[in-house]
Amino acid sequence: MAKIGALKKSGFGKTSRRDAWWVGPAATFVVLATFVVYATWAAFQGDHYWYRNYLSPFYSPELLGSSPHSLFGPKPDAWPSWLPFSPALIILPFPAFFRFTCYYYRGAYYKAFWADPPACAVSEPRKGYTSENGWPLKIQNSHRYFLFFALLLLIFLWLDVWHGFHFADGVHVGVGSLVLLVSTGTLTFYTFSCHSLRHFLGGRLKYFSKHPTQYFCYQCVSGLNKRHMLFAWLSLFGVMFADLYIRLVSMGIWTDWRLF
Ligand code: FES
């Protein structure tokens, strides 16, 4: 097998690789850019984010807002007029930052957006490797702290799933109930396969045999961690589709079919 050094040529984008190495970064660029544009647009709308017992995951938990899902009532009168208001703008930065600082996504968007490098064994535009030891990339180390926000948010998202099956006339299954279930399910797999969670549970243990419960949890997270990339993409599509579904149903463009 050829060594990476032998495949790499000098000059941006130069390489001896003969495979379609650019397909992965190009696909990542298109999908992530679409997600960022859509999520930003949806977060600023402040409308059509709920439909009866469904609440968009971009807006959950709704701390302040005009929907029946709001935990602390409507926007306070003291809210500054110059500050844009949308329930999503209060909560979405936390899961967004969790995803932005994810170890997997960093590898993906460093290649797709910054060409640093464009792919393995492909020359990059910069001469020196600056790493994440300096600002502003040092901020990526905050991922381990955002993990705890993400775990907390999962509680609210599962409550939304619960509500998604509880209609005014009893317990039923609508297409929206399943959409919320899949969205939160994939987000749960994504969060529980996190590298930081794996390290938190077992990375610091010297003797696994002395901590059997922790070791068991560590093994579970390690098993999920092998599929972290898959969960990262599934949860991205899942959460975006859940918002889109509830938005279109709320606008009357789609109908929420009841299955049971
Ligand atoms: S490493 Fe991806 S969510 Fe933590």
- State residue 116's pLDDT score: 81
250, 195, 186, 240: which is closest to 221 by C-alpha? Answer: 195
Q: Model pTM?
A: 0.92
CA of 32 to the centre of ligand 1 (A): 16
Which of these ranges, 37-51, 114-128, 220-234, has the smallest mean pLDDT? 114-128
Residue 204, pLDDT score: 83
Residue of 104, 109, 222, 231 best suited for mutating to test ligand 1, as the one with most atoms within 8 Å of CB: 104
Find out whether the beta carbon of 236 lies less than 6 Å from any atom of ligand 1: no
CA distance 160 to 166: 10
Q: Are 258 and 230 in contact (CB under 8 A)?
A: no
154 pLDDT tier (thresholds 50, 70, 90)? very high
Distance of alpha carbon 158 from alpha carbon 185, whole angstroms: 9
> Ligand 1 atom 2: the closest Cα is on which residue?
102
| Residue 239, CA distances (Å) to 20, 38, 40, 118 in order | 30, 11, 13, 28
Ligand 1 site, residue 103, Cβ cutoff 6 A: yes
In whole angstroms, give the CA distance from residue 141 to residue 199: 13
- Give domain limits for the chain: 4-250
Indicate the DSSP class of residue 202.
Answer: I
For residues 209-235, average pLDDT: 96
pLDDT tens-digit series, residues 82-108? 999 999 999 999 999 999 999 999 999
Q: Which residue is it, tokens 């299955």?
A: 259
Using pLDDT thresholds of 50, 70 and 90, give the confidence band for residue 28: very high
CA separation for the pair 64, 83 (Å, rounded): 14
- Tell me the three state secondary structure of residue 2: coil
CA distance 258 to 260: 6
Question: What is the per-residue pLDDT for 16?
Answer: 80
Q: Which contiguous run of DSSP H or E holds residue 211?
A: none
At 1, is the pLDDT very low, low, confident or very high (cuts 50, 70, 90)?
Answer: very low
In tens, the pLDDT along 181-208 reads: 999 999 999 999 999 999 999 988 889 9
The overall average pLDDT reported for the chain is: 93
Mutate to test the pocket of ligand 1, among 94, 100, 195 (most ligand atoms within 8 A of CB): 195
For residue 95, how many other CB atoms are within 10 A of its CB?
A: 23
Query: Could you give the 3-state DSSP secondary structure of residue 173?
Result: coil
pLDDT reported for residue 176: 98
Q: For the residues 210-232, what does the mean pLDDT come to?
A: 96
Mean pLDDT value across residues 141-153: 97
pLDDT in tens, 42-79: 999 999 999 999 999 999 999 999 999 999 999 999 99
For residue 195, which atom of ligand 1 is closest to its CA?
1
3-state secondary structure of 61: coil
C-alpha–C-alpha distance, residues 148 and 197, integer Å: 9
Q: Rounded to the nearest whole angstrom, what is the distance from the C-alpha of residue 106 to the centroid of ligand 1?
A: 9
With the most atoms of ligand 1 within 8 angstroms of its CB, the residue from 196, 227, 235 to mutate is 196
| Residue among 147, 154, 163 at smallest CA distance from 183 | 154
Q: What angle separates helix 212-225 from helix 228-250, to the nearest 10 degrees?
A: 70
pLDDT surpasses 70 at 3: no
According to DSSP H, which parts of the chain are helical?
Answer: 4-7, 23-45, 87-91, 93-100, 103-112, 143-164, 175-192, 195-198, 212-225, 228-250
Mean pLDDT of 16-41: 93
Given a cut of 90, whether residue 135 has pLDDT beyond it is no
Each residue's pLDDT tens digit, 232-244: 999 999 999 999 9
As a whole number of angstroms, the distance between CA 212 and CA 114 comes to 43
